[in-house]
Amino acid sequence: MKETQKLQMQFRLFFLGSICLFLFCTCKKDKVNEFDYSFTPYKLNTPIGFPEPIIPDNNPLSNERVELGKMLFFDPILSRDSSISCGTCHLQNLAFTDNLTISRGIDNREGFRNTATLTNILYNDFFLKEGGIPSLERQVSAPIEDEDEMGFNMVELIERLKNHPTYPDLIWQAYEREVDAFSITRAIACYERTLISGNSKYDKFYYQDQKDILTEEEKLGMDLFFSDKTNCSTCHSDFNFTNNGFENNGLYETYADPGRIRITNKEIDEGKFKVPTLRNILQTDPYMHNGSLQTLESVIEHYNSGGSNHPNKSELVRPLDLSEEEKQALIAFLETLSDWEFLGE
């Protein structure tokens, strides 16, 4: 390139740069939204005896966010063919489960596992049964993008919501942002954090001092549940009836679904699954990660038998030698964990 041409090019660049900067400084994007950003703090109703939940710094709850999250949760717009919503598999009267052995997605596709309850999910440390997801916000995209659940794609979902008549305004109002993955995942997580259950018959007895509320059979079941004879409460412990850990409960000698090893790649984790809460257990049948046990009776029978031999089976799962009366008492106690208000009745 000749020297004069080079100089000409440099002056052109100089001129162009100046114009661009001028335009950039003088133009101000005027955002027109139906609603202004609004943050009305949402007060979680933490039940008596429950710890204050930990809320992520980047997603404090507001009425606007919870309402938006609830709308999205029950809106089939989240699935590829707009046929199913989160609420399709997570029904309130079933403690946000669906009573199916294995969940069903779009086109009636068979999912991978039994639908998990959302009861008190704000207290969970890990999500999905192998625990590979470390936050509720991050869990949200899993069913949306799973081929056998909503079968959709986050990029396409954002585009769809951007063209929706109300969601862009509601998202702006709740998060002061355009429709994006952040606002979608945060809003749904906000709603899910409100699904708190702590007013069962057991809660009234234990935390609310209504000492006459349990029957003798339920009390016998409670004593057994918390005893060294059954060790149920070692894993199903604390206010939420879970230690938030991962256990192999001896369901099989060989697991078709290998569980937590999918995340850790450690042999010791084969056949281990997240210990679920037992709150509202009566409503969440069928049981186990794959819905293979249809009734509470069959669950009690499984633990009474000591389960199958597996090298990773918990030492606490061993023959219990329970009488029929004791089995029935345990079931009666588990039924006291139903929170009818939470279940919408």
Q: Which stretch binds another protein (CB under 8 A): 45-53, 70-78, 79-87, 255-263?
A: 255-263
Residue 255, C-beta contacts closer than 8 angstroms, at least 6 positions apart:
270, 271, 310
Nearer Cβ to another protein, position 147 or 297? 147
Q: How far apart are CA 8 and CA 103, in angstroms?
A: 68
Helix axes 181-193, 167-175, angle to 10 degrees: 70
- Binding to another protein by residue 113, rule CB under 8 A? no
- Indicate which single residue of 76, 87, 111, 132 sits in contact with another protein (rule: CB under 8 A): 132
Residue 49, C-beta contacts closer than 8 angstroms, at least 6 positions apart:
198, 203, 206, 207, 239
**Are the C-beta atoms of residues 175 and 187 closer than 8 Å to each other?**
yes
Query: Rounded to an integer, what is the distance from CA 295 to the centroid of its chain?
Result: 23
Q: How far apart are CA 143 and CA 189, in angstroms?
A: 13
- Binding to another protein by residue 102, rule CB under 8 A? no
Q: Which stretch binds another protein (CB under 8 A): 16-24, 81-89, 192-200, 247-255?
A: 16-24
**Are the C-beta atoms of residues 205 and 213 closer than 8 Å to each other?**
yes
- Binding to another protein by residue 181, rule CB under 8 A? yes
Tokens 């609004």 sit at which residue? 38
Q: Which stretch binds another protein (CB under 8 A): 42-50, 131-139, 216-224, 324-332?
A: 131-139
**Are the C-beta atoms of residues 288 and 251 closer than 8 Å to each other?**
yes
- Indicate which single residue of 62, 88, 103, 139 sits in contact with another protein (rule: CB under 8 A): 139
Nearer Cβ to another protein, position 17 or 49? 17
| Closest distance to another protein from the beta carbon of 189 (Å) | 10
Structure tokens at 150: 């909503």
- Binding to another protein by residue 55, rule CB under 8 A? no
Identify the three-state secondary structure at position 63. helix
Q: How far apart are CA 305 and CA 322, in angstroms?
A: 9
- Indicate which single residue of 51, 53, 134, 319 sits in contact with another protein (rule: CB under 8 A): 134
Nearer Cβ to another protein, position 189 or 296? 189
| Closest distance to another protein from the beta carbon of 174 (Å) | 15
- Binding to another protein by residue 37, rule CB under 8 A? no
**Residue among 254, 202, 261 at smallest CA distance from 233:** 202
- Binding to another protein by residue 176, rule CB under 8 A? no
- Binding to another protein by residue 308, rule CB under 8 A? no
| Binding interface with another protein (CB under 8 A) | 9-10, 13-14, 17-18, 21-22, 25-26, 128, 130, 132-135, 137-139, 141-142, 145-146, 153-156, 158, 180-182, 184-186, 258, 261-263, 265
